[in-house]
Structure 1
C-alpha cells in the first residue's frame, strides 16, 4: 500500500510578471485527507495545484512533502500525480494503453504494465472497456480512465483539477461518490480544485477557500459553512445573509431567518418585501428586499412554506435568534 504523507505549503508565491496569482500562502494538507481548494475563477487555486504538481515553477516559498523539500523537483520525482480537467487521453491509444503509457515510458515490459493497468481499470470499474478508444467512451467513462492512468504511478497525493466540471449534474453526483470511495480505499491524499461549493462540502475533509491569491479560510466543511470568518467566505460558500448588526458585519444562515406575516411585538425585527419565490423541492427560497438591510434570502422547508404560502409582493417581518448570528472579521 502506498504511504500517505503530509504536504506543506510555506509562503508559496506565484507571480506572472507583475501579476501575483498566489500570494505567500501557508497550509498543511494532512496525510490521507481529501482537501478541496475552493474559489472563483482567477483566485489562484489551479496555479497552486500546478505548483504542487511541478507543472508551474514556484516564484517564492517552499513545498515540503513528507519532510523533504520538493519545490524544485520535476513532476515525476515528487510522488504526486495529476488528473487534468480535460482528461488529456491519447485518442489513438486504447483504454489499456492509455493507462499503461507512463509505465511504457519507464521501460516496464508489456505483460507487466498491462497486468497493472488492468488492475487499475478494475478499481475504477472500466476493465470491460480496455480495448476501446477514448472516442468510444462517455465523459464519465473517460474520467475513470484518466483516474486509472493517474493512479498507476502509485502516487502519495492525487491532484485533481476541476475533475467533475464537464459532467452532467446526475453523473457529477455519482462520480463524487466514486472519488470519495477511491480516496478511502487507497488511503492517499486527494487535493481537488473546484469552484463548486456543493462539491467541496460533499467531498472534503478540509476546505481551503481562496480569493485573490490568498487563503481566506481553511477548515472542515461544517466549520467553514457554519462559521465563515469573512464576508467573502459567507457569500461564496452560499446559504448565508450578510447583515450590519450592532456596528458589526454578521453572517446569518438563510435557513435560520424566520419569516412572519404579522409584525412581532418585539422591536428587533426587519420589514421586507417578497421579490421572488423559488421552489427547490425540499426547500423554498424567498428572495427578500429589506430596504436598508439590502437583499436577503430566507430558506423555508417545503412543509413550512405550503402550510401558509407567501405570495410575491407580500410584506413580511424577519426575526432570528441571537445565537444564529456569526460575527465576521472587519
Structure 2
C-alpha cells in the first residue's frame, strides 16, 4: 500500500457562478487518520471532497499532499482515490475486472492486474464473488467491490462520499466497523463525507463540522460532542439543549438535565411542561416546553424513568450542575 501523507487545505474555495460553495477553508488532515466531513445538505462537504479528488476544480486556494501541491493535477496523478456514493460499477464487467479496470487503463499486463485485483477482493472479503456481475450482488457486496476498486491504485488518501447512505441500518453499522478496521490495517488516511452524526462519532479520529461553506468546528469526536463551540454545532451534533442564560447561549447535554416531579430543596432552575415521552430502549427522552427557555429534551436512563414514570402533560422541575452548562460563542 502507498505511504500515508498529511493532506492540507489552504484557503481552498469553490465558487459556482454567484454561489460560494466552499469559503476559503483551512484544515490539515494528519497522515493515517480517519476524518469525517460532517454537515447538512448544501454545507460544502461534498464539494470539498470532490476538489481533493480532482473531480471539481479549485476556484482559489491550494490542496497540498505530503508537501506536493496537487491543486491542478488530474485525479489519477494525485495519490488520492474516490469511492462514489452510487458505487459506479461497470454492469457488463465481472467483479474482478471491475477492480482491475484502472490498471488495465494504465497498461498493466493482464496476469499482474488480475492477481492484484484478487488480493484486494480478499482484503474486502469478496474473493468468492470474483466472477460475478455487479447485478448479482447485494448493495453491501457492491460496496466492497467499489472499495477494492478504489484501493487498487494504492492511494495515500481514500475519499468516501456518503458511502453508507444506501445501506439498511443493520448493514450500515456492520460496514462502519469494517471501514474503521480496514483503515487501521491499511494505515492510510480516510476522508469520509456524511450527514449522520452517529456515523461521524463512531468512525472518526477527527470530525470537521461544516456549515454554509465554512468549517464551524473541528476536533476529536469527544471534544466536538462535549464542547460544541457554536449553537449550530450543539444543535447539529445532537444530544444537546441550547439555553439562553443571562444574555449568553449555553449548551447542556440532554443526559445532564435533571428532571424532578416536585421543586426540591436546591430549587428548580426551570419549570417545564412534558409534551411527549419517547422510549428508545436504553434511554427515554422527554420533550419539554420550558416557556421562555424554549423546547428542551431530557434523556433519562430507562431504569430511572420506569422507577417513577412521568406522564405526558405533567409539570416538571429542571436542574443541572453549573459545570455541565457549556458556554457557546456568540
What's the TM-score, normalizing by structure 1? 0.99
Distance in 1 separating the partners of 2:139 and 2:21: 30
Distance in 2 separating the partners of 1:196 and 1:92: 33
The corresponding residue for 2:315 is 315
Distance in 2 separating the partners of 1:237 and 1:45: 16
Aligned-partner SS, 1:232: helix
Q: Indicate whether 1:119 and 2:119 are aligned.
A: yes
Q: CA deviation at 1:142?
A: 0.3
Q: Per-residue CA shift, 1:13-63, capped at 9, x if unaligned?
A: 000011000000000000000000000000000000000000000000000
1:93-132 aligned within 5 A: 93-132=93-132
Distance in 1 separating the partners of 2:3 and 2:149: 19
Q: Does the Cα contact within 8 Å between 2:206 and 2:221 map onto a contact in 1?
A: yes
Q: Does the Cα contact within 8 Å between 2:268 and 2:318 map onto a contact in 1?
A: no
The corresponding residue for 2:276 is 276
Distance in 1 separating the partners of 2:113 and 2:301: 54
Distance in 2 separating the partners of 1:324 and 1:245: 13
Greater Cα offset, 240-249 or 207-216: 240-249
The corresponding residue for 2:304 is 304
1:44-63 aligned within 5 A: 44-63=44-63
Q: Per-residue CA shift, 1:231-255, capped at 9, x if unaligned?
A: 0000000000000112210000000
Q: Per-residue CA shift, 1:192-251, capped at 9, x if unaligned?
A: 000000000000000000000000000000000000000000000000000011221000
Q: Per-residue CA shift, 1:285-322, capped at 9, x if unaligned?
A: 00000000110000000100000001100100000000
Aligned-partner SS, 1:264: coil
The corresponding residue for 1:19 is 19
Q: CA deviation at 1:110?
A: 1.0
1:135-284 aligned within 5 A: 135-267=135-267, 269-284=269-284
Distance in 1 separating the partners of 2:201 and 2:265: 38
Q: CA deviation at 1:128?
A: 0.2
The corresponding residue for 1:80 is 80
Distance in 2 separating the partners of 1:233 and 1:118: 43
Distance in 2 separating the partners of 1:267 and 1:11: 50
The corresponding residue for 1:66 is 66
Distance in 2 separating the partners of 1:204 and 1:217: 14
The corresponding residue for 1:41 is 41
Q: Which ranges of structure 1 fall in alignment gaps of 5 or more residues?
A: none
Distance in 2 separating the partners of 1:96 and 1:71: 32
Q: Per-residue CA shift, 1:259-308, capped at 9, x if unaligned?
A: 00001234451000110000000000000000001100000001000000
Q: CA deviation at 1:168?
A: 0.2
Aligned-partner SS, 1:311: coil
What's the TM-score, normalizing by structure 2? 0.99
Distance in 1 separating the partners of 2:127 and 2:64: 36
Aligned-partner SS, 1:155: coil
Q: Which ranges of structure 2 fall in alignment gaps of 5 or more residues?
A: none
Aligned-partner SS, 1:175: helix
